[in-house]
Amino acid sequence: MRKLREIQDHEHEFCDKVWHERHLVLMEKVERWEENICPKILKWALASAEKVRKKYKDDNLEYDTFERWMLNWKLSALRWILWDDWDELYT
């Protein structure tokens, strides 16, 4: 049986990676002028993304469609184990 700390660590990892992937999608939209973000929030988002990249520097943080779905499924499953609602994918 897995220890609670191990499950929580992986939940945090998947949350970071899902958030980072969503960040990349948003930044593409900003670059194409499809989205507009408050400069203060943009500054925070860029700094947060840099922290995630440093934390997982040995991992490739760009995923294909299947890998994105796998991250989301893993995050959902771990949150369910930790007593959250099924399919709870907030980041």
Q: What is the pLDDT of residue 33?
A: 95
Tokens in use for 22? 């969503």
Q: What is the pLDDT of residue 84?
A: 83
Among 40-44, 80-84, 86-90, whose mean pLDDT is lowest?
Answer: 86-90
Q: Does residue 53 register a pLDDT over 80?
A: yes
| Within a domain: 70 | yes
pLDDT 10s digits, 24-49: 999 999 999 999 999 999 999 999 99
Q: Are 76 and 86 within 8 A, CB to CB?
A: yes
Mean pLDDT of 56-83: 91
| Within a domain: 88 | no
| Within a domain: 89 | no
- Candidates 64, 84, 63, 59; CA nearest to 8 is 84
| Within a domain: 17 | yes
| Within a domain: 91 | no
Q: What is the pLDDT of residue 46?
A: 97
